[in-house]
Structure 1
Amino acid sequence: MTVAALITLVLIVAVLATLALTRVAPDVVLMAALAFLVISGILTPSEALAGFANPGVMTIATLYVVAAGLKETGAIQWLAHRLLGQPRRLRQAQLRVLLPASGLSAFMNNTTVVAMFIPAIQEWAARLRLPTSKLLLPLSYASILGGTCTLIGTSTNLVVDGLLQSERGISLHMFELAWVGVPLVVIAGGFLYLMADRLLPNRQGALEQLEQAREYAVEVRVIPQGPLEGKSIADAGLRSLAHGYLADIERDGELMTAVPPETKLQADDILVFVGAPECARELRRVHGLRPANGDVRKLDIAHHRRCLVEAVIGPDFTGIEQTVRESRFRSRYQAVILSISRHGRRLPGKLGDIRLQVGDTLLMETAQEFVSQYQYRKDFLLVSALNDSTPPDFRKAPWALGILGAMVLVSATGLLSILEAAFLAGGAMLLTRCVTASKARRYLELSVLIVIAASFALGNAMDKTGAASQIAQWLLLADGLSPWMALAMVYALTVAFTELITNNAAAVLMFPVAAAVAEQLGVSIMPFAIGIMFAASASFMTPLGYQTNLMVLGPGGYRFVDYLRLGAPMSLLVGGIVIGLVPFVWNF
């Protein structure tokens, strides 16, 4: 093994360890690795930056604009409400989730599909009294499965297709993957339909969490020498609030519970009310009371510009594993946390002492601009105002769906390449005003594009230095290893990578290894490349491997063990189907 190959392998291990064990942003890690490869002379600048000119990467970037048009016009929401219908039993509900989610995800970004389905399913499940915990994880898995049916179903497919185009001159067709993807959806979808109810818990979801979050505790203090000092609770009018009730009184460090209405109020008594968010506004109108916690008063936002916002903490939130107080949440985001839900339960205790985690659901009081400011960033997922928000322009939903259909049609018939069709579709979304240029820019996931493009540098380094060939030799250590067994090993290694790091990075890193394995066995690269496509999307066992899994963590009230309980058999089933079918469609 050459020195350059050894350095490359050490760098790969360092990148994987950093991505898996730290909270450093993936785009920072991959760009640092790219810079190292250029400065060390292992790659020339043009070789290191080749990923930024890859057609697969540019196709992904353009499809973000198409997805933006679909979301801004409410096209997915419009379809979701019509496809979900009014089932009466859980099995019917699961079927109505699995079929539309997998079908739509075959043609549009599955993250967008899941984001639009979550609130629709929450509202629908609450109305029908069905547990969201048995619906949202199957929604995520179905969207992953549906994305494997077409070339544009997931960015991973486009990345591997881009590698095949640039390195082998092979270009896949729109529905070529359907030979394996459709059986995968049918069989694995059937498994979800039969087993999700048994393997998933009946746990509170986001709407139930929200009811608890909205039923939060409001603490106020009796002003010394104020109009309420010396009055009874009944005389002060505190027994007739419309949106809350007095639960406890804290006096001189002692907690008084089940307080009778004739109890006299004293100066500096801390009154603990439990109720809906309107209770806080109601108490502010009572002369003689002030907030016991000064954070709400410190919020430098006029009352008429405030609103209640629900947000799920994302992986790039800067205060993870810090307490609310340590994170300086109020000063950083100009928002005050009113309540925190985790795994379906409202967290008790002092809010300032709670350590924040990925997936926590926050109920906040903040400015009306908070939603538009943070819904396109990665600090939070599913940022939404609890009051009425601006509805999508449903009048243009048919335009958006028509543009999507035309894009699929012209690329499927071979009239245009995927990239060319995406360019035209993105331009049509802008020309028809389905999405404005400024909003389209905000929908571009630059960090994701940088991760994908920078990952190409690592793949090129592995190929150029011979590190990929060395890994292939280690995989083929056993004499007489059949191509089928080699495919299974490449698939398993890709799945392990995608559960630890991003799916696109896993695909790019494994592609040169798969190419080297195929070359050493003297067989076609196609079964291995297709196997990587499916393996990189097969992230079912953790919430961190795929963004849709993380998106349903808080709203479904899930815990890590829930993913393992349903995801482990799913992963084995999907792996068996892919490894069994791929060589029959793409021969060794």
Structure 2
Amino acid sequence: MSPQAWIAVGVAAACFAGFVFTRIAPELILVGGVGVLLLGGILTPEQALAGLANEGMITVALMYVLAAGLRETGAIDFLIHHVLGRPRTERGAIVRMLFPVAGVSAFLNNTPVVAALVPAVMDWSKRLRISPSKLLIPLSYSAILGGTLTLIGTSTNLAVNGLLLSRGNPGFSLFDLTGVGLVALTVGSLYLIWLAPRRLPARVPVHDVFDNPKEYTVEMTVEENGSLVGKSVEQAGLRHLPGLYLVEIVRDGEILAAVGPYERLQGGDRLVFAGVVDAVVELQRFRGLRPCADQTFTLQDRKHRERVLVEAVVSPRCALVGKTIREGRFRMTYGGSVIAAARAGHRIQGKIGDIRLQAGDALLLDVRPPFLERHRNSGDFLLISPVSEYLPVRHDRAWLAWLILGAVIVCGGTGLLSMFKATLLGAGLMLATGCCSLSSARKSLDGQVLLCIAASFGIGRGLEVTGAAAYLADQFLRLADGTPWLTLAFTYASGSILTEIITNNAVAVILFPIVMALAVQLGVDPKPFLLALMISASASFATPLGYQTNLMVYGPGGYRFTDFLKFGLPMNILVGIASVLAILWLWPL
């Protein structure tokens, strides 16, 4: 190899070492590596920056916007409430969850899907009296397996396809991965269904979920002609809510106490709940319920999509102390509405509008963002803190969000549009129709993932232009004795091992030029080898560090590193063998 090739290999090796042995952000390591190649004259500025304009990388960004549209309209919540149900066993819960999650992850980037589902599965586990650690690893694994079903299922697939297109080769179609992905999903699902209930530990006791001593009172109204009218409390999903219970129903001035599960809801019913703040936030997402008109924002206020929930503690200096919330005209005074109230850690009896405020009362407020800056240092409140991860939900547009995603799938799957154009159209429609606000679209973009992909392109390009990729491919072939099927198996094994210790996108993009060189030297179609690379880079089960979704469930599930190793390593091996055999069968070399 030339001196420049050795430098390129050294930079790639240094990046790998940085991922494993330091806590430096992966995107900074990769950008630093590209900077070294650029300053060393190995890459031109155009080559170093090509990743920022790569079709695959931009498609990944657009998929985040599509996912944000589904999240903001409650489309994913609808799936959760109507599909998961109330299974009686842990195995039944895993079956109920596994296939819907894999199905959604096949057409949405699995990282935002899992981000949206983690709190929902935590709720669900509380309701089922199952430890969350029994369900959260299956949640992550099913999302990973679902991502192998289509081209748009994960950012890794899109990044590799973008590189393939940038070299003038025909790319993968939307469903080229589906055959192999279905085999991987089948094998992985059988493993999860059979062994997860027995092998996964109960790390988090059920009673610890939503352990919060502060209990609020919140009042909701059943919308006239809404989806909940005529349904029983049980059918509406308002029974067995984690951290929340229905205290009473106020109907036509009469109070129905000790509400039974078969009580049917009527339009205009006022439902009085008591619960912790996490549960109160989730209650705002129920379709067919709205905060009572005399305690919260008006229809005119609803035009403002940018609203947040904050907790505020009333100060002794507040002018409304001694007055009821209605008398003090709280909404007019502060530009915010009281959603729920608590006193000394317990719910306050009576209607919220009739609560007479005292110093130290904790209020859950629905406000616009300027409220935080305007009253953070105000003498009226002792403490103001935002409640995280709350977004107002536009349930009336959920069907439209699903329709837009369906159009993207049809256009991309039939070849009517390229995947880049299809996702660009879909993201634009999400914004134009109000399914997703511009600010939510900005916030949905995962800058770390996108920058990692863009910078990885530069590292991979350096290996290619210096001839280092061709040299490494030649050594690889000698190891496999020039046998195509053995080379394919080694390709999968390399991606699988590396993705357990560093980011999956970096593995796929940096190994891409080596895999392409392998195919050229063997004189075969590179697509089977790229399929092995894409699936192996995504199918990371043995460590929490190998894939973003594993890391996302690591903390909430109370897992230890060894939990992933003991349970995930056998799954890695089984899915790997099944995937390689499926590729050899469906994509003969």
TM-score higher than 0.5 here? yes
- Per the alignment, residue 576 of structure 2 pairs with 575
Q: Distance between the aligned counterparts of 1:279 and 1:487, measured in 2?
A: 65
Match of 2:385 among 348, 352, 368: 368
Q: Distance between the aligned counterparts of 1:23 and 1:280, measured in 2?
A: 42
- Per the alignment, residue 84 of structure 1 pairs with 84
Identical-pair percentage: 45
Q: Distance between the aligned counterparts of 2:541 and 2:480, measured in 1?
A: 33
Alpha carbons of 1:478 and 1:111: their partners in 2 closer, same or farther (altered >3 Å)? closer
Q: Distance between the aligned counterparts of 1:16 and 1:450, measured in 2?
A: 16
Is the CA contact (8 Å cut-off) linking 2:67 and 2:113 kept in structure 1? no
Aligned 1:528-567 pairs, distance under 5 A: 528-567=529-568
Q: Distance between the aligned counterparts of 2:26 and 2:409, measured in 1?
A: 31
CA deviation after TM superposition for structure 1 residue 447, in Å? 2.2
Aligned 1:48-197 pairs, distance under 5 A: 48-197=48-197
Q: Distance between the aligned counterparts of 1:15 and 1:425, measured in 2?
A: 35
Aligned 1:26-41 pairs, distance under 5 A: 26-41=26-41
CA deviation after TM superposition for structure 1 residue 520, in Å? 2.3
Instruction: Give 3-state SS (helix, strand or coil) of 1:70's partner.
Output: helix
Paired amino acid for 2:44 = T
Paired amino acid for 1:198 = R
Is the CA contact (8 Å cut-off) linking 2:108 and 2:152 kept in structure 1? yes
Instruction: Give 3-state SS (helix, strand or coil) of 1:368's partner.
Output: strand
Superposed CA offset, 1:8-60 (max 9, x none): 11111111111111111111111111111111100111111111121101111
- Per the alignment, residue 209 of structure 1 pairs with 208
Paired amino acid for 1:7 = I
Superposed CA offset, 1:52-107 (max 9, x none): 12110111111111111111111111111111012112221110011111111001
Superposed CA offset, 1:359-408 (max 9, x none): xxxxxx9743362xxxxxxxxxxxx4xxxx55422111111111101111
Paired amino acid for 1:86 = R
Superposed CA offset, 1:209-257 (max 9, x none): 3455659xxxxxxxxxxxxxxxxxxxxxxxxxxx9xxxxxxxxxxxxxx
Is the CA contact (8 Å cut-off) linking 1:507 and 1:532 kept in structure 2? yes
Paired amino acid for 1:123 = D
Instruction: Give 3-state SS (helix, strand or coil) of 1:23's partner.
Output: coil
Superposed CA offset, 1:321-367 (max 9, x none): xxxxxxxxxxxxx9xxxxxxxxxxxxxxxxxxxxxxxxxxxxxx974
- Per the alignment, residue 504 of structure 2 pairs with 503
CA deviation after TM superposition for structure 1 residue 584, in Å? 2.4
Question: Is 1:465 paired with 2:466?
Answer: yes
Q: Distance between the aligned counterparts of 2:360 and 2:415, measured in 1?
A: 57
RMSD, matched Cα: 2.5
Aligned 1:263-282 pairs, distance under 5 A: none
Is the CA contact (8 Å cut-off) linking 2:5 and 2:463 kept in structure 1? yes
Aligned 1:206-245 pairs, distance under 5 A: 208-212=207-211, 214=213
CA deviation after TM superposition for structure 1 residue 125, in Å? 2.0
Q: Distance between the aligned counterparts of 1:126 and 1:42, measured in 2?
A: 56
Q: Distance between the aligned counterparts of 1:279 and 1:566, measured in 2?
A: 45
Is the CA contact (8 Å cut-off) linking 2:126 and 2:209 kept in structure 1? no
Relative to the length of structure 2, the TM-score reads 0.71
Paired amino acid for 2:107 = F
Q: Distance between the aligned counterparts of 1:145 and 1:366, measured in 2?
A: 44
Q: Distance between the aligned counterparts of 2:19 and 2:579, measured in 1?
A: 27
Alpha carbons of 1:33 and 1:548: their partners in 2 closer, same or farther (altered >3 Å)? same
Is the CA contact (8 Å cut-off) linking 1:56 and 1:162 kept in structure 2? yes
Paired amino acid for 2:452 = V
Is the CA contact (8 Å cut-off) linking 1:306 and 1:366 kept in structure 2? no
Aligned 1:383-462 pairs, distance under 5 A: 384=389, 389=390, 391-462=392-463
Is the CA contact (8 Å cut-off) linking 2:122 and 2:209 kept in structure 1? no
Q: Distance between the aligned counterparts of 1:307 and 1:21, measured in 2?
A: 44
Is the CA contact (8 Å cut-off) linking 1:307 and 1:367 kept in structure 2? no
Paired amino acid for 1:536 = A
Superposed CA offset, 1:428-447 (max 9, x none): 10111111112211111122
Superposed CA offset, 1:155-193 (max 9, x none): 111011111111242111111110111121112111110
Q: Distance between the aligned counterparts of 2:462 and 2:133, measured in 1?
A: 44
Is the CA contact (8 Å cut-off) linking 1:81 and 1:120 kept in structure 2? no
CA deviation after TM superposition for structure 1 residue 199, in Å? 1.4
Paired amino acid for 2:50 = A
Q: Distance between the aligned counterparts of 1:524 and 1:390, measured in 2?
A: 47
CA deviation after TM superposition for structure 1 residue 4, in Å? 0.3
Q: Distance between the aligned counterparts of 1:181 and 1:163, measured in 2?
A: 21
Is the CA contact (8 Å cut-off) linking 2:59 and 2:423 kept in structure 1? yes
Aligned residues: 438
Alpha carbons of 1:425 and 1:211: their partners in 2 closer, same or farther (altered >3 Å)? closer
CA deviation after TM superposition for structure 1 residue 573, in Å? 0.6
Q: Distance between the aligned counterparts of 1:533 and 1:31, measured in 2?
A: 22
Instruction: Give 3-state SS (helix, strand or coil) of 1:49's partner.
Output: helix
Alpha carbons of 1:489 and 1:367: their partners in 2 closer, same or farther (altered >3 Å)? farther
Q: Distance between the aligned counterparts of 1:60 and 1:303, measured in 2?
A: 47
Aligned 1:286-301 pairs, distance under 5 A: none
Q: Distance between the aligned counterparts of 2:146 and 2:342, measured in 1?
A: 42
- Per the alignment, residue 19 of structure 1 pairs with 19
Alpha carbons of 1:418 and 1:479: their partners in 2 closer, same or farther (altered >3 Å)? closer
Q: Distance between the aligned counterparts of 2:129 and 2:41, measured in 1?
A: 62
Aligned 1:469-480 pairs, distance under 5 A: 469-478=470-479, 480=481
Consecutive unaligned residues of structure 1, counting only runs of 5 or more, are 216-242, 244-276, 283-301, 309-333, 335-364, 372-383
Is the CA contact (8 Å cut-off) linking 2:430 and 2:436 kept in structure 1? yes
Q: Distance between the aligned counterparts of 2:52 and 2:18, measured in 1?
A: 23
Superposed CA offset, 1:254-312 (max 9, x none): xxxxxxxxxxxxxxxxxxxxxxx979668xxxxxxxxxxxxxxxxxxx9778879xxxx
Alpha carbons of 1:120 and 1:179: their partners in 2 closer, same or farther (altered >3 Å)? same
Instruction: Give 3-state SS (helix, strand or coil) of 1:476's partner.
Output: helix
Alpha carbons of 1:487 and 1:428: their partners in 2 closer, same or farther (altered >3 Å)? same
Worse overlay, 149-158 or 476-485 = 476-485
Is the CA contact (8 Å cut-off) linking 2:342 and 2:363 kept in structure 1? no
Instruction: Give 3-state SS (helix, strand or coil) of 2:478's partner.
Output: coil
Is the CA contact (8 Å cut-off) linking 1:306 and 1:367 kept in structure 2? no
CA deviation after TM superposition for structure 1 residue 466, in Å? 1.1
Instruction: Give 3-state SS (helix, strand or coil) of 1:524's partner.
Output: coil
Q: Distance between the aligned counterparts of 1:523 and 1:420, measured in 2?
A: 30
Is the CA contact (8 Å cut-off) linking 1:499 and 1:545 kept in structure 2? yes
Is the CA contact (8 Å cut-off) linking 1:483 and 1:521 kept in structure 2? yes
Superposed CA offset, 1:403-426 (max 9, x none): 101111111111111111111111
Instruction: Give 3-state SS (helix, strand or coil) of 1:31's partner.
Output: helix
Q: Distance between the aligned counterparts of 1:303 and 1:41, measured in 2?
A: 65
Q: Distance between the aligned counterparts of 2:210 and 2:185, measured in 1?
A: 35
CA deviation after TM superposition for structure 1 residue 542, in Å? 0.8
